[in-house]
Structure 1
Amino acid sequence: MNNRKVAIVHEWFAVVAGAEQVVGQMLDLFPQADVFFIVAKPDTVERTEFLRGRKVTTSFIQKLPGSRDSYRRYLPLMPMAVEQWDLSAYDIVISSAHAVSKGVLTGPDQLHISYVHSPMRYAWDLQHQYLRESGLTKGLKSMLARWMLHKLRIWDYRTAAGVDHFVANSGFIGRRIKKVYGREAIVIYPPVDVHTFELCTEKEDFYLVASRLVPYKRVDLVVEAFSAMQDKQLFVIGDGPEMNKIKKLAGPNVKVLGYQPLPELKRYMQRARAFVFAAEEDFGITPVEAQACGTPVIAYGKGGSRETVVHSSDERRRTGIWFENQTVDSIIDAVYRFEQFPDGISPAVCRAHAERFSAARFRDEFRSYVDACWAQFNASRNLESIAGTRAARTFYDQSDNRLGEMTLESR
């Protein structure tokens, strides 16, 4: 494997979030790999340790006006952008995909493995939610957006044929891959830096939500729910376009702290009575980080939370509780049910569960999978070569026989 040329392809590198951490772990496994981004912020690349000194290739979109900060506006050009990279010199292409990177062009003698964080949500099952949140439900702009998404779906489905093996970051995304592309995927959970979030067994009487303040995270529902339970305290950590909305919804028992550096975030996460998570996520890293701190999670029971939070009657396994609906009433009901556990939820059980998602585990599983795929790929090529040689011999033998017959007839 070490003598094979590897390319790692990712969509954009603007912040170092969960998907980018996956790229970092892949580069740890394949230190000689070259990296391809549609767009990369130079300052983010410079301060990211796992990219220092590496060959990083970007697309033509990198040179377009405003692309480094407003790259999403160029989404219609991104399929063409990833198709312009000449990857023919690489034996193995690994795409880290949540939009278009799996659409890179590869040949029959190249192995393409795609680690999928999610098929394009806004182009598939979440299209209507995306259009509502973007104010694109009617009018000419809505028609243009729908047409663009229609074209993206056609391209996205077609390019799935160029992927040899799909890897999903959760069983939930595995089902999405099956639904959208008609392909099976194995599940390898993304890496979570559980060692940074140390266990704390001493808890205080407050709840915590930590998230980007964007619509789909549904922090507004959590704030509304706790504002209606004024005997319970909630801290909100995070920043984003919904900050003003969150502040207006917050009652006197809800403290909106905005962005907090990692040491402060950890301190709140370690001391919280429970972490509240209302989003439907593909995987969801922050609930795992909370459990690594020994903090149980009250989570919306759909998406990745069903795999990262153990909702069980067995206290030896239980790490949290699910609520059924993304509503204020459902969250309130879950909080009261959580508080009825006679002995609470064990911090040690939460921590042990979180360790199942460690970075070391990701590296072991992903490396083993790539090695197995490469061995299978080579074995298949060798068999095809042998079969082709046999077929050629049969063809030439038959040709010789026919030629001999023709020669006899001509006499």
Structure 2
Amino acid sequence: MINELTKQKTSTEFKDKAEKFMANLPYREKPYSGRNWGHAWHSLCSYHGKLKPAIAHLLIKEFTEEGQTVLDPMSGVGTIPFEACLQGRIGIGNDLSEMAYTVTKAKLEITDKKKVERILTELEDYINKNTVEYRADDIPYSDFGLNGKVPEYFDPKTFSEIIAARRFFIDKEIASPEDAFIFSCFLHVLHGNRPYALSRNSHPLTPYAPSGKFIYKKVITHIKNKIELSYKKGEWDNFMEGQAIFGDLFDLPKKVNNVDAIITSPPFFDSIRFYSSNWLRLWLSGWEPEDYKNAEMRFLEGKQKRGLNIYTEFFNVCSNLLKENGKVILHLGKSNKCNMATELAKLAIQYFQVVYVGDEDVEHLEKHGVSDKGSTTAHQFLFLIKK
């Protein structure tokens, strides 16, 4: 057991670091402020709502130590646990989205290039054998899409290959890091506004309604190009293999324990819905039209809109997962409708000491071509330590 004097010292040191971090906001300084700063695999697959890698990097660097276990229970595409692995920590990422889990697995678990090549050969053979020419009145998903119908994004032959490749991965399931890596590359090239993308001209983050000519693009070639490019980039000298978990965060105590730190960025209270902004890649991951209708009931993003009390259970889970004096750092979004840090701090005190709360004004920040950040006026950091 840790005595009270040690607990107090740990808490004081944690607070001092938190205050310094918020006073300096080091990720705003060069080189961290660069738009493309960080390991190349942070861009393994585009994802709307991804935490800025520099923030994840510096939170890991400042508030954890090498060899410690760092968990993100709502990891998205694994930005935080990937940074932990890159810095010699054991990064664990959990998510309930099939797409997010797959990309996280690709980043955290080491791949064997020979296995990748073998699976690519299987995929290519499958596409060649299962590509069909659809009749105009029989095109799959011609009635489904959140911003244009799915087939409108692709040349008919390309779309037929996509359907075949999608079925390959659904039937196979994402069982290995090699599967996850190949599929993540497939997800990335699905849509965008440059030649790498399989789609007509759209947007690489959110698939806006497509425009321009229908041009045939061979699916396996585009996937291979992305894979080759990914392997050429990034350094792995201090990388420690982590773990990706698929499932509800409230089930994590059955799967994980003795965590040193939990660092996560929950859905902002008044931001856009992740499943609508990432809808086309979720479809590729196996979602069917009915899944979008039920998403509000499944994901924390929807549950919290019915009441933030869901976070009482969240903090209970975090407390059970953490070691004594374990830390929690939450990156939150403040809006005119909700001061998330203040409200969550009230719910955390049953299990945690509130060490520090800091705000960062973001109303002036660049949107990088996407203006749908909701009504978020500030980013907040809530620093907690287990009682």
Task: State TM-score, norm by structure 2.
Answer: 0.30
Q: Looking at CA atoms only, which structure, 1 or 2, has the larger radius of gyration? A: 1
Q: Which has the higher contact order (CA 8 A, sep 6+)?
A: 2
